[in-house]
Structure formats: C-alpha cells, structure tokens
Amino acid sequence: MPAEAGAPGRRLLVVLPADFLGGAERVALSLVEAAVRERRFAAIDLYVLARQPSGTLDRVAALPGVTVTHARALREYAALGAFARFLSGRRYDLAYATHTHVTALCCVLRRLGVLRAARLVTRESSSIFEVDVGHWGRVVPFLVGLYGAQDEVIHQTSYMQASFDRHTRGRLAARGRVVPNPLDLERVRAGAREPVAGPPDAFDHSVNVL
C-alpha cells in the first residue's frame, strides 16, 4: 500500500525464502508489523524468493507503506537474478534476513554492492550445525562461511549463540547478540477469547513473537 507518515525517507527490506509461515517467518512479519505500528520507516519492502503466493502475506501487504514482491522462483537460488534486478537502484536503511541460505545470499550481494543497505541484520533461529537437515547439512559450513557482511547476528537463545560461535570459532562473536522471542500478548489475549474448534490435541500452541 502507499506509504503513510513514517520516518521520512527511511526504508526497510525484509527477505524471506517463501511465504510458508514457520517460526522464523513469523518473527520477521512481527518485525514488519512493529515497524509499521511505530512508524519507523516510510517504506517497507518484503521480498519473497520462491514459490507462488499463497495468500499468507495478504494481511501484511495491506499495511500502510508495505510492498510485498514475489519472485515466484521454483527454488530460492533460482531467484538470484530477479532479486538482483529488484535491488537495482534501491537503497535501504536496514535490511533483515533469516535462514542460513538467505543470510548467505544477502551477505554476498552486499559485498558485491548489489544490496545497498546502511545496516544488515540477520537472525539465527536454530542451532544450524546441530539440527538434522539431511544432505543439506554438508553445505551448511560453506554457507555460513559466506557470512560476514552483516552488522549484527541475532540469536534466539544463548545456547544457539554458543553453538554458533563454537562451530565458527568465534569469527562473528563480536557481532552476535541474543534476542529472545517475547510473546505478542495482544494476540495471545485475542486467541484466548476465541472459541475452541477442536479437541485439546488439536490445539496450535505456537504464538507469534516479535
């Protein structure tokens, strides 16, 4: 939607692999919603690398100042060209990325001068060196090796930070910070007022966090 009065001229970029809403994506959307609510940016670009739009971002796309762009690639890596073209001529005050492969991509593009952001913040939402990601586990060290162009690395827990620093030999320890996921109490309260639509074992215990 067209921008309303936010911080004059300030721009935010949020990059997602797809519009499937896992925990990391929900945190990113909470960031967007908070930025709109607090009028921190005049314009917010939410860029989705892969898959067709599913409608899960429609509510965020309707917020003032937010533009959602889908590359519609079959896989995230196939969106590289489209993402580079999208970034051409754009400058951001803050860029935010989550997921290892998306973070690696943004770091490379920033080094090349394609992603022009005054500040790049990335978030680690798992102990990526310890979780079982199948055959992709073999490329995790390579992808993390591409890190380094970000200004700050956010970790969800102190355990995740310690694991990351141990496996990377502290290469980015000075840029790391733990930011736990606080509850969005308004949504919790709203959810508590909703009628139960199924048996207890059908409850969705996940909550949005910021």
Q: Please report the DSSP string for 165-210 in residue order.
A: HHHTTTTTGGGEEE----B-HHHHHHHHTSPP-S-GGG------B-
Amino acid in the structure at residue 97: A
Q: What pLDDT score does 190 carry?
A: 66
Q: What pLDDT score does 95 carry?
A: 98
More confident site: 199 or 12? 12
Q: What pLDDT score does 64 carry?
A: 96
Other beta carbons within 10 Å of 165:
17
- Residue 169 pLDDT > 50, yes or no? yes
Task: Indicate the domain borders of the chain.
Answer: 11-183
Place of tokens 């200004």: 151
More confident site: 18 or 133? 18
Structure tokens at 35: 């930025």
> In this structure, what DSSP letter does residue 92 have?
B
Nearest-angstrom CA–CA distance, 57 and 177: 28
Cβ–Cβ < 8 Å for 41, 93: yes
DSSP per residue, 128-173: TTTS--GGGGGTHHHHHHT--S-SEEEESSHHHHHHHHHHTTTTTG
Q: 11-183, which class in CATH? A: alpha beta
Phi-psi region of 195 (alpha: psi -120 to 50; beta: other; left: phi over 0): beta
pLDDT tens digits, one per residue of 86-99: 999 999 999 999 99
Q: What pLDDT score does 207 carry?
A: 31
Q: What pLDDT score does 8 carry?
A: 73
Q: Band of the pLDDT at 205, cuts 50, 70, 90?
A: very low
How far is residue 165 CA from its own chain's centroid? Answer: 21
Contacts (Cβ under 8 Å, ≥6 apart) of 204 = none
Q: What pLDDT score does 206 carry?
A: 30
Nearest-angstrom CA–CA distance, 208 and 210: 7
Average pLDDT over residues 77-81: 93
**What's the CA angle centered on 141, arms 151 and 29, to 5 degrees?**
50
Q: What pLDDT score does 5 carry?
A: 46
pTM of the model: 0.82
Mean pLDDT of the chain: 86
